[in-house]
């Protein structure tokens, strides 16, 4: 096991990414557990940080951790050292605290327990998925995967341009997960780019007529909404249900 870890993680330069991901997941689960205890008014659990009656959101602590971990990580010359790993972990904790209140920062108001606040949970899940793909050795748009010096520069540039184009089309079609995962797995972005757009996406609003919009809405109701309900159920299980009912 130790030999595998050294060969697959340390020697490939993924130690900091692994520590970052583990710290990110642990911090997210802890902070969600904490806020759920506070929400339930559990007497034995410490409450919010409110010096002088002013509520300090955990995004503030996250920003501090990110600054310390990020700047410290830039100064760490040996990426396999214990210090580099600890700083990556600190950066992961800070990132989790920031993204857990992503919706609050986006809307500039406390929407944590509202339906709008569920965006934070979705962003966290996306971040975990993309970090996991990177940990497996995949690279965005295939950058760094060139197989030798004989490959023409124009061929590499065209490949990158094509991958970026289909990814942007998938995102414009409202397929966020497909587009972002497609950054790492090109065939996923291609599938998202050629399939029907989601009915409320910018692509559908600008390019689809009434008949095609009806097809897109029908397909969305048949295929995507059951998946969305399952994803929402998982998010509610992990992060807690929002206070207001879904619209």
In this predicted model, what pLDDT tens digit does every residue of 176-195 receive, in sequence order? 889 999 888 888 999 999 99
Cα(17)–Cα(3) distance, integer angstroms: 18
Degrees, nearest 5: CA angle 122-192-205: 85
* Per-residue pLDDT band at 150 (split at 50, 70, 90): low
In this predicted model, what pLDDT tens digit does every residue of 51-99 receive, in sequence order? 888 889 999 999 999 999 999 999 988 888 899 999 999 999 999 999 9
Domain residue spans of the chain: 1-137
What's the full length of the chain, in residues?
247
Residue 22 contacts residue 89 (beta carbons within 8 Å): yes
Query: Mean of the per-residue pLDDT values for the chain?
Result: 88
In this predicted model, what pLDDT tens digit does every residue of 215-236 receive, in sequence order? 888 888 888 888 888 988 998 9
pLDDT of 12 > 60? The answer is yes
């Amino acid at each position: 096991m130790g030999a595998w870890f050294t060969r697959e993680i340390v020697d490939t330069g993924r130690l900091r990414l692994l520590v970052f991901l583990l710290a990110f997941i642990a911090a997210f689960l802890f902070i969600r557990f904490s806020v759920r205890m506070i929400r339930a008014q559990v007497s034995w659990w410490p409450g919010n940080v409110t010096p002088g009656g002013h509520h300090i959101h955990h995004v503030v602590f996250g920003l501090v951790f990110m600054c310390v971990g990020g700047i410290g990580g830039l100064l760490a010359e040996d990426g396999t050292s214990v210090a580099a790993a600890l700083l990556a972990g600190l950066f992961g904790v800070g990132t989790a605290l920031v993204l857990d209140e992503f919706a609050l920062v986006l809307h500039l108001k406390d929407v944590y327990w509202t339906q709008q606040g569920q965006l934070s949970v979705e962003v966290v899940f996306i971040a975990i998925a993309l970090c996991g793909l990177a940990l497996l050795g995949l690279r965005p748009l295939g950058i760094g995967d060139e197989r030798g010096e004989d490959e023409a520069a124009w061929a590499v540039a065209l490949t990158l341009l094509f991958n970026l184009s289909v990814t942007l089309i998938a995102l414009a079609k409202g397929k966020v997960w497909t587009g972002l995962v497609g950054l790492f797995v090109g065939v996923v972005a291609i599938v998202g780019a050629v399939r029907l757009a989601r009915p409320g996406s910018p692509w559908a609003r600008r390019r689809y007529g009434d008949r095609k919009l009806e097809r897109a809405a029908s397909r969305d109701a048949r295929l995507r909404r059951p998946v969305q309900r399952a994803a929402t159920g998982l998010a509610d299980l992990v992060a807690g249900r929002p206070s207001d009912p879904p619209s």
